[in-house]
Amino acid sequence: MSSTLTQTIAELVTKASAGSISVEQAILPDTNLTDQGLSSLSYLKLIDSIETQLGVYIDLEGDTAFMSSVDGIAEYVRQQRVL
């Protein structure tokens, strides 16, 4: 079930969380990143990494509910790349 994009995002989560969330934890279905301990500063680091490495803009003033999980982020990235 884990795609290359999902794996890449899980690795970005691990890096943004300074290792407090492992790739294995991040990639589990129904894992809420906030519940796993991703702080607001870590979210900003994650967003910066996604924008820089994946070339996808994330509007912080828009609906960012998708940012709560790796699967949600992966789906958002896929949708943005199609547009």
Would you list the domain boundaries of the chain? 4-82
Query: 1-35 pLDDT, tens per residue?
Result: 458 999 999 999 999 999 999 999 999 988 999 99
> Which CATH fold would you assign to the domain 4-82?
1.10.1200
Give the relative orientation of helices 40-54 and 70-82 as an angle to the nearest 10 degrees: 30
Predicted TM-score of the model (pTM) = 0.91
**Which position has the token pair 């995002």?**
9
Write out pLDDT tens, residues 27-66: 998 899 999 999 999 999 999 999 999 999 999 999 999 9
Q: How far is it, in rounded angstroms, from Cα 35 to Cα 25? A: 11
